[in-house]
Amino acid sequence: MRPGLIKNNNQLLMGFGMFITCNQFTLAKGFTRMDAFMVTFSVVLLAAIVYAGSWIGGEKRRIWVCAHHLQTLGRAFDDYSRDHDGALPAALIDNGTKSTSWDREIAGYLNAKWIKGQAPESQPALAAKIAPIFKCPSDRELHGNANARSYSMTAYDLNRAGWPPKADSTGGLGLSLDERTIAQARAIDAAESPDYRPAIKFSQVTAPDDTALLVEHISILNALWSSKLASIASSHEQFAGKTFAAKDFHGGKMNYLMADGHVELMSPAESAGLMGGVWTIRKGD
């Protein structure tokens, strides 16, 4: 029994090691009923402040970890481009004979033991090791048996933006390729090789510090190794969460990996600017 408190019944309220009777109690001399109330109120208030502070501090750390993941992915894109004459992987390819997505293409640059050319499904242990890099720790969406992928490439619509990309292009960096778009680009490039695939190169990006390569894309459908949602067209599509609200994710902001490798935290509206913002190759949007 704590000093200054005499118990008269067995119904107790416990808070941080202090026991106070809920119905009747007799107070020792000098310790009033109001004193007991104020002590209890102070303890509860302090606990609420500590809890809120730990959550806010935790989210700041999650934002930092998310940015670190994006920077790691950015280095993998850079390594991929060195092996492919400066070209970026397509956001997705589905042409009937080949189906792949950007995460599959850069996976081999995230683990030295990865066997390039082999699918993640054929090396599940290594795939499990690198899977967390593709997920922001603030992404709480449920994905069933699939791993979450919190990021997508900014979309380049070959039909709308034209081919090849120009300095004033209104497209992003993530090509979506099927038989039709490959045929269109082949005709323009006068390519004869049967293995021809159109690709955007880092050298075509005139403002790499202001052009997004990967953006956060929160959706239950954005799953690792899937071509679905591998690219995203606008900032309006970035948050499609069902488990939590947009304001509870990075305080309503998103991380953006730029083509030069640095990460910026801003709101989706800020990222879009007046004429496309970081979503287009065009400089100064």
Write the pLDDT tens digit of every residue in 202-221.
999 999 999 999 999 999 99
CA dihedral (207, 68, 228, 185) positive or negative: positive
What is the C-alpha separation between 136 and 97, in angstroms, rounded? 32
The model's confidence at residue 192, banded by pLDDT at 50, 70 and 90, is: confident
What is the C-alpha separation between 227 and 279, in angstroms, rounded? 20
One-letter identity of residue 156: Y
Instruction: State if pTM tops 0.85.
Output: no
Residue 281: other Cβ atoms inside 10 A: 27
What mean pLDDT, rounded, does the chain reach?
85
| pLDDT at 11 (0 to 100) | 40
The tokens 């690219």 sit on which residue? Answer: 231
Tell me if residue 131 falls in helix, strand or coil: helix
The model's confidence at residue 62, banded by pLDDT at 50, 70 and 90, is: very high
* Bridge partners (DSSP) listed for residue 186: none
The tokens 């502070």 sit on which residue? Answer: 53
The tokens 């004429």 sit on which residue? Answer: 275
Q: Provide CB contacts within 8 A for 235, sequence distance 6+.
A: 215, 268, 269, 271, 272, 277, 279
What percentage of the chain carries pLDDT values higher than 90? 72
Query: Which pLDDT tens digit goes with each residue over 143-164?
Result: 888 999 999 999 999 989 999 9
User: 119 phi and psi, to 5 degrees?
Assistant: -70, 155
Q: Give one word for 196, left, alpha or beta, with left for phi > 0 and alpha for psi -120 to 50.
A: beta
What is the C-alpha separation between 256 and 77, in angstroms, rounded? 15
One-letter identity of residue 23: N
| pLDDT at 50 (0 to 100) | 47
| pLDDT at 36 (0 to 100) | 60
Query: Which pLDDT tens digit goes with each residue over 82-119?
Result: 999 999 999 999 987 788 999 999 999 999 999 988 99
CA dihedral (220, 222, 227, 230) positive or negative: positive
| pLDDT at 14 (0 to 100) | 40
Contact 24, 4 (CB under 8 A): no
What per-residue string of b and e applies to 216-241 under the rule 16 or more CB within 10 Å gives b? bbbbbebbbbbbebbbbbebebbbeb
| pLDDT at 2 (0 to 100) | 37
What is the C-alpha separation between 35 and 29, in angstroms, rounded? 12
The model's confidence at residue 31, banded by pLDDT at 50, 70 and 90, is: low
Residue 99: other Cβ atoms inside 10 A: 12
**H-type alpha helices, the chain:** 33-83, 102-106, 124-130, 158-161, 179-189, 268-272
Evaluate if residue 257 carries a pLDDT over 90: yes
Domain layout of the chain by residue ranges: 1-27, 48-279
